Structure 1
Amino acid sequence: MKKTLKQASSFMIISILTVYVSACSGQSASSSGQTGSTSAPQANQATEPPKLTNMTYWVANHAAASAQMKTFAEMGMYKELEKITGVKVEFQHPPLDVQQAKEQFNLMLASSQLPDVIETSWTTGYPGGPEKAIQDNKIIKLNDLIDQYAPNLKKLLADHPDWKKQVTTDEGSMYMFPFLRGDDKVRVFFGPGIRQDWLDKLGLKMPTTIDEWYTVLKAFKEKDPNGNGKADEIPFYIDKDLINTDAPFLGAWGINYSFYQDGGKVKFGPIQPEYKDFLITMNKWYKEGLLDKDFAAPNDKMFDNKMTTNQLGSSVFFNGGGIGKYAGLMKDKDPNFKLVAAPYPVLKAGDKAIWGQKDFASNGFGAAISTSDKNPIETVKWLDYAYGEKGDLLFNYGIEGVSYKMENGKPTFLPEILNPPAGVSVQQSLAKYNRATWSAPFVLSDNFQLQYLVYPAQKEALQVWSAPTLERKLPLITPTKDESSKFASIMTDIQTYRDEMLLKFIMGVEPIDNFDKYVKKIQSMGIDDALNIQQAALARFNKR
């Protein structure tokens, strides 16, 4: 899943699209004797299909799907679901561009007539969080509806109380049908990556510290690792939208780009002294041409071109839509191409990385039912199908006999799905049939993930990217109704200013000497009040 779960929004913050949530593992299918899924309950499948005929559904698109189809309605999974339930879904997709998607999301919410279902990151995508969305009369509270009409999800959350804690607000509101990662194996999927073949050609070791990264990037720029005799190498692409996914490089300084906890105290990374040191380093790299000059305006097609034309040496990648994607696209084009995971960097050799990417069971993404939906009971029944035995197979694997078959009691993808023709990635191959390589309101199976990671480099990436301790990561805390408006008002302005200034600092438009003025400006905008709200929310979460 590369720049697509690119599903979070401003610099270093995952928007409505990635990013891609606490460790509590579900019972594995192999130990329970089920079908290979870690997740779906095998009882309480809805006894009758919903009586809906049409539904509108707003959800971010994905590059792997949009390259092959206009809407998710053309996907094998949803075609089959329409046959099963009789419900025809009109999907409404915003543009793939993160900022444009955010703008369309806001316009959609301002409308008096909302889509029936809205799928997004409710903890970060909606100002003030899900409780505020209920308070604003945009989405409905689902507790009673799930209790009465969603037997599959109800049982699943009863069996996994830690999961229920993550998808319930402090005030006890259930607000979405969540995307859930059912096992530790499917919760690590993102991190730094580097061209191992370039390292080998230049006789360099894998970098583990920020200083070692600097040495490697300088060599990538100056020593022609792609061998074409031109100084066209791009040492590092600092992804404006994904670099903050649990702080792949910023984390070397022990902080992140938003709120985190240190010894139980909530802090805001972008005003810490360590953040200034990070900015000084990035500004130096930018001045020396070690960062892609286009980083401030990320573009998936441009990124793909730079990777597949042998220009780019390193960046941050998803395991499936990055390492796996480019291995597939380059396997016939360049047999020497080898993109691998790199450890999350630290400042001093031998230190343990604090920050890294690992989702909780829930990452805040899910499908909520809007207040415009005239058939909420039937919509609940339709959404609940995904959490039952048959829905589990459909959402994880697609259509039996078309994309998978059963072998020894486990769903197994057909060889042609996992070994697509040259120029087609495994993610694109799977996207014809399901959304399991990014997200959807269902439970992702570890059996799916182990099949999806077809290349040795992808399996190694799981180990490399699992090393950080993550002790400073905040759980999915949410403000109360009373706090929501104040918090949203404060943070909307602060995040806009933070993002604007980060670009200016890195690109040298704003002198680093003005960092103290920048911090004072954020303080004047109310960050202390926001910190108090977050501290109280953390205390409430711990008591849930």
Structure 2
Amino acid sequence: MRHSSRLGTATVTGTLLALLAACTGSSPAPGGDASKPLPKVTGNPPVTLDVFAPQGGEGSLRKNAFTKEIKEKFNITIRWQTTTYDANAAKEKRQISLASGDLPDAYLLIPWVDQFSQTELLKLSGQGIIQPLDQHIKQYGPNIRKAWEKEPAYKRMATAPDGHIYGMPQWNDCYHCTYSAKLWLNTTWLKKLGLEQPKTPAELRKVLRAFKNDDPNGNGKADEVPLSGTVTDSVINYLMGAYSYAPQGTTVNTNPTLVLRDGKAAVQANRDDWREGLRYIRSLYKEGLIDSGAFTQNNGALNRLGDNADAVRLGSITTQHIGQYMTVDDKNVRYKQYDAIPPLKGPDGTQYTNSYSPSFAGATFVLTSKATQTEQIQAIKMLDYLHSDKGRLDSYFGPDGWAEAKKGETGTSGKPATFRAVEAPANNEWGPLAQYNHTADYRTSQAFAKDSKSPDGYERLLHEATELYEPYAPKDLAFPYEETWIDPAKAQELATLQTNIGTFIQQSNVQFITGRKSLDADWDTYKADLEKLGLKQFLKLYQEAYDTSH
């Protein structure tokens, strides 16, 4: 069983600015009267909803068991308009559906595939294309309101600066996703070589040297890779934490290292402590302790290294969880050699990890102007059901995919579990389409095997690993993208600035580390070039958006 970063959650594939280029224009009044009461609908009158949604390659939403449950419970017949899980194709097809005028009644999306950005919501509501949900939720969303009471941040994330709700985001409180910049180190090699767990940058260097030079895999070849990563799981995010805070951002190749410092938008990548972190990473790379492909290879290349049929070659890897790069099942036990190592403590005591919200700003559920009021009401009832205790289980696992926990079973937090996943027929669940009220309490109440190194206990392993990182995530630096709404009139400018500045920063990081640029001779020029790219205006626009949203 390959464990991916979509282990019941979402991964960061771009959120706030992913669709801004298509969302320019002013921000007129919302489409529809959000305060006007809806008619009272008793029972469940039969409706047919045209719903646009991504569909996995192995299932059929039309024949899905949970789709049948929705039909039986709410008298809703869903005519699915499907796209794929390919992000680019899904985004293009959704934009075509909006531009063509042939709208579905509702969109039901997956955030790590494609979703509506906050700016799109403002624009499309002003054009009357999508409907505000305020009154729908007030009259027909008791479970949504209950979820908001328990998680006020969920409501804040869904609420535009004008106080209206134009679409519903998913809420998926994935603990191990929140703190993703982990180092997984081969502790079997560590013990074989008689070394201690590294706690500082100097101690890690000593370990990596031994991994490179002392043949820990015992095959008589100098084929060990002391430390590796990928473009999406960069070694920078973990190693930088001993010197400076490395923000996760909402994108990879265009991450501008934006933070909120003392209430002001700022970037990290022009600071002296950032330069010192790059200097350390450069020294590791220069010694051959970091894989030469770590800054260019994709996930597939590292998968092949992690799962290679010969001797174990990976000494350590920076990734959210080890199952992203090697198989986790009963037949493949290699992953058991690796343990998460807490953030390193730098020379001046700096010890950071980054954090970000695993719930993405924007909306995955949207109602359009095509839907009649009765259809809108029934659609909201369906969404509200996904927020209920039974609805979130049936929708994510399938009606036959879960059972009550057995006596003595515990969740990842160690508390008694309330449910467990069970084997179920294929095409049983909506899965990631339905993660609307997956709170921390809910997620940690699923039963898992007590042995965290067993495949069935893997989620427990991730929870235990993440506990090593949470204490080192500063609460006052992460920029609140999920609660910062961009004015559609300024979206194109900001998107261009972020692309240019973020790309330049990420490319320069690699150039400094690999020696193509000098951290001494070229640093001042690098900072000056950042200013020429519009850094001041970039920060001004984000500051204005933050101030307006808060």
Q: Which bracket does the TM-score occupy, shorter chain normalised?
A: 0.7 to 0.9
* Cα drift, residue 253 of structure 1: 2.4
Q: How does 1:127-526 map to 2 (within 5 A)?
A: 131=122, 134=125, 140-181=131-172, 191-243=182-234, 247-257=237-247, 258-309=257-308, 310-319=312-321, 322=322, 326=326, 328-329=328-329, 331-334=330-333, 337-348=336-347, 351=349, 353-357=351-355, 359=357, 362-364=359-361, 366-369=363-366, 371=368, 374=371, 377=376, 378-400=378-400, 402-405=401-404, 407=406, 411-413=418-420, 433=429, 435=431, 440-444=435-439, 446-449=441-444, 451=446, 454=449, 455-456=451-452, 457-471=461-475, 472-475=477-480, 476=482, 477-512=484-519, 513-526=521-534
- 1:20 corresponding residue in structure 2: none
Q: CA deviation at 1:367?
A: 0.6
Identity percentage of aligned residues: 20
Give the Cα–Cα distance (whole angstroms) in 1 for the partners of residues 371 and 383 of structure 2: 15
Q: Relative to 1, partners in 2 of residues 1:516 and 1:340: Cα closer, same or farther, differing over 3 Å?
A: same
CA distance in 2, matches of 1:2, 1:491: 28
Contact (CA 8 Å) 1:75, 1:431: kept in 2 or not? Answer: yes
Partner of 1:109: 95
- Kindly provide the amino acid, as one letter, of the partner of residue 199 in structure 2: T
Q: Secondary structure at the match of 1:364?
A: coil
RMSD: 4.3
**Structure 1 stretch displaced more, 221-230 or 147-156:** 147-156
Q: Distance in 2 between matches of 1:486 and 1:280?
A: 33
**Structure 1 residue identity aligned to 2:156:** K
> What is the Cα deviation at residue 501 of structure 1?
3.2
Cα-to-partner distance string for 1:251-277 (whole Å, 9 max, x where unaligned): 332232521123333211222233333
Contact kept, 8 Å, 1:120 with 1:367, in 2: the verdict is yes
Task: Indicate if the aligned counterparts of 1:129 and 1:479 stay in contact, CA closer than 8 A.
Answer: no
Number of aligned residue pairs: give it.
Answer: 482
What amino acid does structure 2 have at the position aligned with 1:56?
F
- In the superposition, the TM-score normalised over structure 1's length comes to 0.73
SS in 2 for 1:87: strand
Against the structure 1 CA distance between its residues 529 and 93, is the aligned structure 2 distance closer, same or farther, given a 3 Å change threshold? same
The structure-2 alpha-carbon separation of the partners of 1:493 and 1:103, relative to structure 1 and needing over 3 Å to count, comes to farther
Q: Residue 461 of structure 1: CA displacement?
A: 0.9
After superposition, the C-alpha distances for 1:288-344 in whole angstroms (9 at most, x for unaligned) are: 33233333444333333322332222223334xx35995733x54447942211112
The structural deviation recorded for 1:229 is 2.0
Q: Shift of residue 440 of structure 1?
A: 3.1
Deviations 1:147-178 (A, max 9, x none): 34433213322454343123323332423322
Corresponding residue for residue 22 of structure 1: none
TM-score (norm: length of structure 2): 0.72
1:439 to partner: Cα distance: 8.0
Cα distance in 1 between the residues matched to 2:271 and 2:528: 12
Moved more, 50-59 or 190-199: 50-59
**Relative to structure 1, is the Cα distance of residues 389 and 227 closer, same or farther in structure 2, using a 3 angstrom cutoff?**
same
For residues 374 and 304 of structure 1, do their structure 2 counterparts lie closer, same or farther at Cα, with a shift above 3 Å needed? same
Q: Aligned in 2, Cα 1:317/1:186: closer, same or farther, shift over 3 Å?
A: closer
Please say if 1:55 is aligned against 2:54. no
In our comparison, the structure showing a higher alpha carbon Rg is 2
Which residue pairs with 1:27 in the alignment?
none
* Equivalent-residue separation in structure 1 for 2:117 and 2:531 (angstroms): 23
* Structure 2: gaps spanning 5 or more residues: 19-41, 248-256, 408-415, 453-460
User: Conserved in 2, the CA contact under 8 Å of 1:52 and 1:379?
Assistant: no
Segments of 5+ residues of structure 1 without an aligned counterpart are 17-45, 96-100, 418-428
Distance 1:8 1:174 in 2: 23
Report the AA paired with residue 174 of structure 1: I
**CA pair 171-336 structure 1, distance change in 2 beyond 3 A:** closer
